[in-house]
Chains A and B, each alone.
Chain A
């Protein structure tokens, strides 16, 4: 009963915050000489008019679910993995390299499975390295993970100029991967691939790990009370490395869904925002793996809608970021307002009890 009321409360507040965020961001449009009412109409009709664009929402959502899961998992251990972008790139490199090396030599399914495993392992090991530095030398994981993205980015540039460059050596990209190694499309008339299913499964998997396994339990205990963890035979250092490995693996998995499911090649500057969006989404969902799905879906929708807005009106493309920024700001503010109100209510109840 009580739980239900809480969820209802939460949904109401969040929807209200999203609407407010949109209103405020649309209020900026007249400054750019764009009619906000018209743009809203365009945005809605363009986004939800045809199947293909609606499919795009799911395509955008897929990697966002994964990178925000990556942040959410370490967040539960009271650690900060700011480097999901880098781990995603490592996943991309592993997936594309495995696929290019083995495609046509092995059956497509096997290539896909190997690319899947390679991306997870690559991302995971990158994460593990950060976790190891934290556990062993007490390096600041925030900084190390953040900077690791840059290192990976330049390694990727290097590989795109050398070993992985397309045969003609003209552009900074790899060759297209063979059709046989593409993730199958699941909705006809769209480009939506199995990737979205993988992302959803990953969210459920992470939820299961966190709340139904002793490993996830230990991660959460470490995150909430490190001293109690130590006193219970749980090694916070081991938990740090484990959490970072899993986090990195999930971010790496996004590399697989994007390469084999969507882009079918790797190019420089590929999906360069999903790491930072992931952080925002995870925070918006209070790091709840199931909540992440919906928050990512919201971001995906806004991205598609914002792109449509950029195409069809005079508004610049950066309008998307303004919109996302405002929506996030309002959702976060709604948390604080809600908590303040709750505390006030509790205090009120206590006072009444005291007087009675």
Chain B
């Protein structure tokens, strides 16, 4: 192996309370593609942002070309030949490709025509088809990404960091990108590729660094490993004991929710939901596993009426509810705890009592003839505070003043009551402490036992395994398969979550 260009030594990064990176050491050699693999929140982006000067390490050293450097800003990183393509592009839509690329790197009078030629030549060199004079807003996402890459190349970057570069691309665009990466490193440059998709890792990388919970849990050569081993490393070894579903078979019970062929596809882009078919019975928990941002939120919102499907049908208790509004579905007894509760589930500035009313402002529970019965609502809220052991002095404090776990309890308490027939939980325990997690889990099981249907979306496999009767795995807006709890091993589910059908040679 050729000499090391970048050595990150024992980097630790602490945000207030969270340990984002814990003693992370990574070495990147000349002409090498390093894949940084891990689940969302594993600390992949953080470590690379430290290298790029966006964050500063709490402790640890950065060595470049055998010398220690302190990188205080992206500008200094760029001066060292390091460039990072962010998940969200930093382009000016109202400017042309050329203007964007030379932005910040030109002085005085600019000969745009000459620059355009220069950039077109650069693009051709790497086989990019990028119109140098076109406005960014007229370009597809894939081409915009190429512009981002050209921006880095224009500054003679020799180390390119790409944060989830394929997340927004079509399969064809991914192929072009992969070809570029190979071409680029063959010229003696290096690439760090942040991803949670194993397929790409196997396709393009030389060295694979797997991260979990801010730590490195393995550095392997591609030749020495396989998807199974990687999935294992990525998800962790602590999920071996699987709990078999208890009680009688819910599949024999009445079907409550039937989803047929549900698709959401915005014009000129990949589908967010791709022909989803699923059924939830009475008294059943359907777990939906998957790496986050694979269409779970869209599925929940479509079921709740907040997203309009472009195709397909949703039936609740035999009634077609595809065209009904959120308001109607609340009335029909649907509850939904959104994964981003702060944004979708509560009003931080309002009191707990007011937050309890949120979904019921059109219902008759506490409102008659348009006038709110505050006394009744406050009594109800006080009862819920007691029942759910919410740590709050009374029902008049604002929701925003509670801790995250207690906020979630408020939302869960409300939605469980609203959802008389079906409750959708999207990441119900994200960011909660163990006690609160336990309480929410007990509540979910309690609801199932009372005959309600439950959809549980989670990226935590332990949660899915502990609660679900059946498990559906989502990948890129598709259901990779629905299995009974107990049929799946950690390895198998890991592969499904990464887009592999383990039984078949080729990806379905």
Contacts and interface: CB of A to CB of B under 8 A. Distances in A.
Does A pair with B?
yes
Interface of A: 212-215, 217-218, 220-221, 224-225, 227-228, 230-234
Contacts of A215: 370
Categorize the interface residue count of chain B.
20 to 34
Contacts of B326: 230-233
B361 A225 contact: no
Interface stretch (B15-23, B260-268, B351-359, B380-388): B351-359
Given A231-B336, A232-B326, A233-B325, A214 B347 contact: no
Q: What are the 7 tightest A-B residue pairs by CB atom distance, in nearest-first order?
A: A233-B327, A233-B326, A231-B344, A214-B367, A225-B347, A214-B361, A224-B347
B344 A227 contact: yes
Contacts of A221: 347, 350, 358, 361
27 contacts: A212-B372, A212-B374, A213-B371, A214-B362, A214-B370, A214-B371, A214-B372, A217-B357, A221-B347, A221-B358, A225-B343, A225-B347, A225-B348, A227-B344, A228-B343, A228-B345, A230-B306, A231-B306, A231-B326, A231-B336, A231-B338, A231-B345, A233-B326, A233-B327, A233-B328, A233-B362, A234-B361
Interface in B174-218: none
B367 A233 contact: no
Interface string B293-321: 00000000000101000000000000000
B346 interface: yes
Nearest to A218: B361
Nearest to A231: B344
Nearest to A230: B306
Contacts of A234: 327, 361
Contacts of B349: 224
A7 to B, nearest CB: 15
A232 B350 contact: no
Interface in B420-458: none
B330 interface: yes
B354 to A, nearest CB: 7
Nearest to A209: B370
Interface in B450-499: none
Contacts of B370: 213-215
Contact of A217 (B329, B330, B372): B372
Given A228-B343, A228-B345, 19 more contacts: A212-B371, A213-B372, A217-B357, A217-B372, A220-B350, A221-B361, A224-B347, A224-B349, A224-B350, A225-B346, A225-B347, A227-B344, A228-B346, A230-B306, A231-B326, A232-B358, A232-B361, A233-B325, A234-B327
B69 to A, nearest CB: 36
Greatest chain A CB density within 10 A among B330, B346, B347, B367 is at B347
B143 to A, nearest CB: 28
Contacts of B325: 233
A96 to B, nearest CB: 33
Contacts of B328: 233
A231 B411 CA distance: 13
Nearest to B344: A231
A231 B426 CA distance: 14
A228 B357 contact: no
A228 B347 contact: yes
Contacts of B359: 232-233
Given A212-B374, A214-B370, A221-B347, A231 B304 contact: yes
A217 B361 contact: yes
A2 to B, nearest CB: 10
Contacts of A220: 350
B297 to A, nearest CB: 11
Greatest chain B CB density within 10 A among A217, A218, A232 is at A232
Contacts of B344: 227-228, 231
Contacts of B371: 212-214
